[in-house]
Structure 1
Amino acid sequence: MKKSVLKCFIGLSFIFLMISCATTKNSNFNESNKKNTTNNKLIVRGIENPEKLEKNDVMSVTNNVANPEYFEFSNWSKIRIMNSLLNELNLHCELTNEQKYKLMSYIFDELPKNASDGIVREVRLGNFFASQKGDARNLVIRIGLMTPGEDAKIKNEKIIIFFSNAVKNQITGEIMKGRGGFINYDLNATVMTAYNNKLLTDIMNMSAEKNNKVDVSKIEALDSVMLAQSILADDDLSNDIKAHELCTAIINKKDIAPAIKIMAMIKEYDYRISLEDLEGSTKLWNEILDFSVNVPGDMNPENLNSINGGSLYLLTELLK
């Protein structure tokens, strides 16, 4: 479970810190938003009154840090963690690519690295809980920072947690849209990440050592695709070439099942996205869409564009 994984990285103290902040009704963020004001302690981006947010529009409130030093994130970091958030919140099909890019910008841009540990930013997505009124309609993503101690088992520059007020059905994994509320990391849609040298990695996928030990000569095609996916998500960029080799070997096989082949094509597409190979990514993406007619099930162009196509759009915008 997420909480048990979190303990290995940062200990219980930060859990209590984040939950206490999340459940405090009179936090600086909430009080400022209710009054529709800003002060020298907060930076508001977008509309100042969250009660007036339109459907899927975005606003953010960030602690104003003296002499701020901002995180530098690689484009691949932004894209893959943004996809993790969209997956966790079941938002892939609800947002347009333009809305995904705007949300990504409000989450990552000018995030102060030298802020005190704790919640440093809140990002709101408008009218997420449609049956509620006022600010209660909005999805809230609280972004918390933690500096690991010297005794941390795994060394990271920072831990960054994206903790939302969206509650997940523990059986289906679906987001309950009736109302939101901050409970804990297991019940709420949450993504926990580790930051090192511009690279941001979901801590659920920090398995480079394990990935590097796999004997690829002894695994089947589907397992090869799953390994490629894990490699592209881990905290070691140097092993990504192995994902490329696994995927291209499957793509070039003549007797491979269409469902496995398209999965390998998608992972190869992710690899090219990670390299910021816009031309190669675009070419392969068009091939994926063309090939999808051969694949039974839900891998149709509409679903592919909603879930995977956004990566190409995000990269295109980031490279402008």
Structure 2
Amino acid sequence: MRRCLLALLQCLVVLVAVFVVGTRLPGDTADVLRGELGTPEQVEALRARLGLDEPAPARFAHWLGRLFTGDLGTSLTTGVPVGDDLGRRAGVTLALGVPALLLVTVLAPLVGTVSGLREGSRPDRALNAAALVLHSVPEFVLGLLLVASLSLWAGLLPATAVGMEPGDLLARPAVLVLPVTVLTARHLCDLARQVRAGVAAQRHGAVAEHLRLLGLRERTVVLRHVLPGALGAAAQQYARCVEGLLGGAVLVEALFGLRGLGDGFVEAVQNRDLPLVQTYALLFAGTAVAVNLVADLVAHRLAPRRELTA
């Protein structure tokens, strides 16, 4: 309960910080909508109609009060309910993030375990080399390299998904291959390295050595004691991977023309659409806090116990 209350406080701090920064940006939604063609009188009238003439604390309090009733508000730019905008864009981000998360979840423990059980072998050296390379190459550079090699030169995969809706993406899964690859690569190596380090440490630890002295087979030691301890230690890294997949979607969606949550957040900031910005901030912060809380619980549950009985 204490952790849950702390998580709520963290989300509130994020919302306040985002709102304060948003109100300090030059211009507001009325300036964006009217642009250079609107007269000062027209801009002021639009600002009053949108409620932007109210004090910033009052606007934040009104938005927060509606939030507790389940009302996310309405976009100042389009007049569309914020929930509808999130629902439309969430499908694109899910079509991108779910395959990436599945790949990380399945491949990282497998690769990390094989590498950790065979320290110094070719798979182990290959993992370390791949992780070093992917850490050295920014995601947008990796995306451009893949587009240039596999799309423009080889013509094997589509380069972008401009104008496509979630249903179109699922109907043409080839469009998702490059963005999913870019989104997965670094996080896969990060988590695999974490699992590899955990497996290597647990395998040579006191607990495993004691169990071997008790006569347990190596397979039993690895499956029942080494792997749970290694996966528990990697739980926090997995949570950071989930956060990174959500945050990395901003860059990947912009690079490949996907109109998902990341693209929507950038567009909301550009339009100074604070109700929309606040909702995106709440979504991102809530996801980060939730996955870290779950990761802590999993790590505690899988932590190796020090009490050993013969």
For the aligned pair, the TM-score class normalised by the smaller chain equals: under 0.3
* TM-score computed with the length of structure 1 as normaliser: 0.22
Q: Which protein has greater RCO, CA pairs closer than 8 Å, 6+ apart? A: 2
TM normalised by structure 2 equals: 0.22
Greater fraction of residues in helix: 2
Whichever of the two has the greater Rg, that structure is 2
Q: Is the strand fraction higher in 1 or 2?
A: 1
